[in-house]
Amino acid sequence: MANVVKQVGEYKLGALIIEGKTKQVYDLPSEPEHCVLLSKDRITAGDGVKAHDLKGKSIVSNKTTCKVFEILNSVGIKTSFVRQATENAFVSKKCQMIPIEWVTRRLATGSFLKRHPGVKEGYRFSPVKHETFFKDDANHDPQWSEEQIISAGFELNGLLIGENEVDYMTRVSILVFEVLEKVWQTRNCALIDMKIEFGVDNDGDILVADVIDSDSWRLWPSGDKRLMVDKQVYRNLTTVTQSDLDTVKRNFEWIADQLDHLLPPNDHLVVIIMGSPSDKDHCQKIRKYCEDLGLNVEVRVSSAHKTTQGTLKIVSHYESLNVKVVFIAVAGRSNGLGPVISGNTDFPVINCPPTTKDDVDRDIWSSLNVPSGLGCSTVLYPETAALCAAQSIALSNYVIWARLRSRRLVNYKSLPKADAEFKNK
């Protein structure tokens, strides 16, 4: 028999690695570290007991997954997603998959209520509730404790899944939930609960993998259960007519469409003003920290003491723009700059004077002991100034908020790693 090479778009597929209920995974000979996830026009529920063909479902699912993973990648969460390949396929890092579903819940509903009789639907978890289930269709995906996962001793691409790894995945699951919850808030939708899966790539890195689409979450527009638009609509059907299936598909399309309309808010600016060009190294450090957090930055030079009118003109210029501005004032010796700006604007002003250990005791007071009526704050380190500015902007910008949120997890992961290195010396 002739060898038929299967192709999607410009990608020549290799061997079928695995086929599940909703997609096929193929080798990608041109990119050996990667694979292609090809979605099927198939919807299933109840561990596959209920299943229907649903024309066009693969396209909506793929579109949703690609959009969600792009958001997660862009805010610094490590996922297996590489790029969209065609309308119903995407390229992913090839992983060995951890056979666990990681579930995070904001409100109690569904199976949680059955497992916890007495809890009313809508009970609000704060912090979010986290649960794990072993992927085992034949036994209806039993709930597993952390200890059971550790005891299973999964070893994938050379990585043993132990206590630290389970803890990390738990935290990433919560992070992913909180980020997507913020994303959906911008479309006035409440993310009720969701599940994700993890894989280990060839380098032994743990990545958010598989897919995140309308099979993965419960979403209630306006927080109203009656308006639900996720797969629960399908799960709830006792008989399934073509018109029911059309409704399910229309819902899924609506969700994918909402994600299309997520305009990344880009209406902010951090303005670093230095009193003298001699402060430029300090300002460069602040700029670098800001840019690493994804902030838009402009740097200016103006002295409130020597070019007072110029300083005020600069402030007026930024006030006239239709963007949210945070000023960072950098002035050594007597810091007139930050307090003068603060007295002439209602945008936040952060003083970050370039002090040294020899002059800090003397110079810092000009930033701290400001006249009544001023609301400027004072920090010493360039990184702190950037984080303060980012936190102000994050109040109305989910992308910056998500960057800050995912950064906290990177910090969290670094200490156990250092600890393990010292312990093993």
CB of 197 to ligand ADP, least distance (A): 6
Closest Cα to residue 334, out of 302, 367, 303?
A: 367
Nearer to ligand ADP, 8 or 370 (CB): 8
Record the tokens describing residue 84, joined without a space.
């969209």
CB of 94 to ligand ADP, least distance (A): 5
For residues 348 and 368, give the distance between their C-alpha atoms in angstroms, rounded to a whole number. 15
CB of 47 to ligand ADP, least distance (A): 9
Nearer to ligand ADP, 216 or 355 (CB): 216
For residues 105 and 191, give the distance between their C-alpha atoms in angstroms, rounded to a whole number. 9
Residue 313 contacts by C-beta under 8 Å, 6 or more apart in sequence? Answer: none
Structural contact between residues 21 and 209, judged by C-beta atoms closer than 8 angstroms: no
Give the relative orientation of helices 398-423 and 382-394 as an angle to the nearest 10 degrees.
Answer: 140
Nearer to ligand ADP, 131 or 181 (CB): 131
For residues 21 and 48, give the distance between their C-alpha atoms in angstroms, rounded to a whole number. 7
Closest Cα to residue 288, out of 410, 353, 399, 383?
A: 383
Residue 361's H or E segment, with its range, is helix 360-363
Nearer to ligand ADP, 21 or 305 (CB): 21
Residue 254's H or E segment, with its range, is helix 242-260
For residues 254 and 272, give the distance between their C-alpha atoms in angstroms, rounded to a whole number. 42
CB of 342 to ligand ADP, least distance (A): 51
CB of 63 to ligand ADP, least distance (A): 16
Classify each residue of 140-151 as buried b or exposed e, where b means 16 or more C-beta atoms within 10 Å of its C-beta.
ebeebeeeebbe
Residue nearest to ligand ADP (CB): 20
Nearer to ligand ADP, 17 or 364 (CB): 17
For residue 127, is the peptide bond before it cis, meaning its omega torsion is within 30 degrees of 0? yes
Chain contacts with ligand ADP (rule: CB under 6 A): 18, 20-23, 25, 35, 37, 80, 92-95, 97, 199, 209-210
CB of 213 to ligand ADP, least distance (A): 10
How far, in whole angstroms, is CA 376 from its chain's centroid? Answer: 31
Nearer to ligand ADP, 199 or 336 (CB): 199
Type of residue found at 217:
W
Nearer to ligand ADP, 37 or 43 (CB): 37
Nearer to ligand ADP, 21 or 407 (CB): 21
CB of 220 to ligand ADP, least distance (A): 24
CB of 97 to ligand ADP, least distance (A): 4
For residues 187 and 220, give the distance between their C-alpha atoms in angstroms, rounded to a whole number. 11
For residues 77 and 176, give the distance between their C-alpha atoms in angstroms, rounded to a whole number. 8
For residues 85 and 116, give the distance between their C-alpha atoms in angstroms, rounded to a whole number. 43
CB of 129 to ligand ADP, least distance (A): 22
Nearer to ligand ADP, 207 or 315 (CB): 207
For residues 423 and 178, give the distance between their C-alpha atoms in angstroms, rounded to a whole number. 33
Nearer to ligand ADP, 202 or 316 (CB): 202
CB of 107 to ligand ADP, least distance (A): 24
